[in-house]
Structure 1
Amino acid sequence: MVAPKTRDRILETSLNLFNQEGLAGVSTHRIAAELDMSTGNLHYHFRTKELIVTWLFRRFEERFAPCIDAHANVTALDDLWLSLHLTFEAIDEYRFIYRDIDYLLKEFPELEQRAQALTARNLVATKAMCAGLAEAGVIAASPEDVEMLALQIVFSTTCWFSFKRLTPPQKSPAYGASALAAYYTLTLLSPYVVGESKDYLNYLRAKYLR
């Protein structure tokens, strides 16, 4: 098996540290120490922490974009479940971005427009998803309901990990944070789902609590 390139090792280690310890608390010295390399060697590949964050944000965009695009093809609850599942997997993999978004945009303002564009794209796709579910008769929702439901779903998916930092940790968590986020996001649909789809929605929600 071919060993990962040094740049990839730096990015993967940085991602793990940012996710575990927070973007603000991890320096290039900390990253170099974790990799057992000199700071000079790290700076040869990435001159600044800003470059590392920018590269990771680019990777997140590439990882997240297909999840957003998949929203447009949702016409059934199974499609919705899969789309949300993939969305939370992507966000969880790069969770420092949304969890530390205030610090990220303050320290790296050049990423603000890209973050806004990604969110706008997510909103449009999620609105199309909700409209598709309404047209398919899965949910009973007016155009205003569709607008607000899309906003709530995007809010939940992007702000979940920030919110979790404000809640006391459970002593014996039965499920992970991303699974619980998916459960709550599916719950947002509950008042709108009609007919037999309602029982199936409850089944999908319950799967996340097992």
Structure 2
Amino acid sequence: MSTRERIVETALTLFNQQGSGVVSTNHIAAACGISPGNLYYHFRNKEEIIRAIFHQLTRVGAEEYLAINAARPPETAAAVTAMLDTFVMVQRFNWRYRFFKRELTVLLHHDPLLAAEFAEVHRSHRQMVHDAIARSVGEGFIAPLADEELTLFVEELWLIILFWLNYLEVGGEEVNDATLARGNAVLMSALRPHLTAPAREALAAVKTKER
């Protein structure tokens, strides 16, 4: 691991533990076992470190999403399984970068560069959800939707995916397998009215197999 990578990983650990607001570049350098000058050789300030963490989470998140979804066969059972697997993957992934989720509004408010980058990624990811639903309509997994209905449905799903961890934490709940499974149930509750009969049958088969 390079010094730059070590700085990013150390900062991520400290931010998750303490919050980015109370962690200084000197704290990060000390935890890395390097001088502040060495840290500043790689990053001019803490904002640059946070942006580097954001770049990492964007890249790794896309890789993990594609690993689940890119090669799945066009079958309703596979579509159901991929959607459930994706939700759990995203939540576990978000937990790894939980400081960013917790502090999102403040971080974007204080760093216009980060805000611009996040807005672009946010639009891209929401489009991915839109495309996944449109693909599922084409495969007969989701019932056809009018354009306005599709937009609202995508926003509903995106809100659940994006903010489930925040919902748990503000309610004083732990993030664990049980609460992630409950998030999956909430997601499926939003999906179920839009499922076609073959998709409902496939979902029932998946649940039976899991028992």
Report the TM-score range of the alignment, normalised by the length of the smaller protein. 0.7 to 0.9
Of the three residues 142, 152, 158, the one matched with 1:154 is 158
- Provide the residue aligned with 1:65 in structure 2: 62
CA offsets per residue over residues 165-198 of structure 1, 9 Å max, x none? Answer: 321235xx76265554344323321222232533
Of the three residues 9, 28, 35, the one matched with 1:31 is 28
User: CA–CA distance in 1 between the matches of 2:191 and 2:55?
Assistant: 31
Judged with a 3 Å threshold, the aligned counterparts in structure 2 of structure 1 residues 194 and 68 are, in CA distance, closer, same or farther, namely same
Asked whether the equivalents of residues 91 and 164 of structure 2 are also in contact (C-alpha less than 8 Å), the reply is no
1:122 aligned onto 2:131:
no
**Comparing both structures, which one devotes a greater share of its residues to helix?**
2
Bigger Cα displacement from structure 2, 139-148 vs 14-23: 139-148
5+ residue gaps, structure 1, are: none
User: CA–CA distance in 2 between the matches of 1:31 and 1:202?
Assistant: 49
Judged with a 3 Å threshold, the aligned counterparts in structure 2 of structure 1 residues 176 and 113 are, in CA distance, closer, same or farther, namely farther
Judged with a 3 Å threshold, the aligned counterparts in structure 2 of structure 1 residues 79 and 28 are, in CA distance, closer, same or farther, namely same
Identity %: 26
Bigger Cα displacement from structure 2, 124-133 vs 87-96: 87-96
Asked whether the equivalents of residues 68 and 122 of structure 1 are also in contact (C-alpha less than 8 Å), the reply is no
User: CA–CA distance in 1 between the matches of 2:199 and 2:119?
Assistant: 34
- Provide the residue aligned with 1:197 in structure 2: 199
- Provide the residue aligned with 1:81 in structure 2: 84
5+ residue gaps, structure 2, are: none
CA offsets per residue over residues 76-134 of structure 1, 9 Å max, x none? Answer: 21232333344334333323223211111122111112111111111222112112222
Once the two structures are TM-superposed, the CA of residue 151 in structure 1 deviates from its matched residue by 0.8
Of the three residues 81, 103, 106, the one matched with 1:103 is 106
Which residue identity does 1:118 align to in structure 2? V
Judged with a 3 Å threshold, the aligned counterparts in structure 2 of structure 1 residues 46 and 205 are, in CA distance, closer, same or farther, namely farther
1:16 aligned onto 2:18:
no
State the TM-score, normalized to the length of structure 2. Answer: 0.78
Asked whether the equivalents of residues 138 and 193 of structure 1 are also in contact (C-alpha less than 8 Å), the reply is yes
Once the two structures are TM-superposed, the CA of residue 11 in structure 1 deviates from its matched residue by 0.6
Of the three residues 129, 133, 137, the one matched with 2:136 is 133
Q: How many residues align?
A: 204
Which residue identity does 2:80 align to in structure 1? L
State the TM-score, normalized to the length of structure 1. Answer: 0.78
User: CA–CA distance in 2 between the matches of 1:201 and 1:156?
Assistant: 20
Which residue identity does 2:49 align to in structure 1? I
Asked whether the equivalents of residues 101 and 166 of structure 2 are also in contact (C-alpha less than 8 Å), the reply is yes
Which residue identity does 2:172 align to in structure 1? P
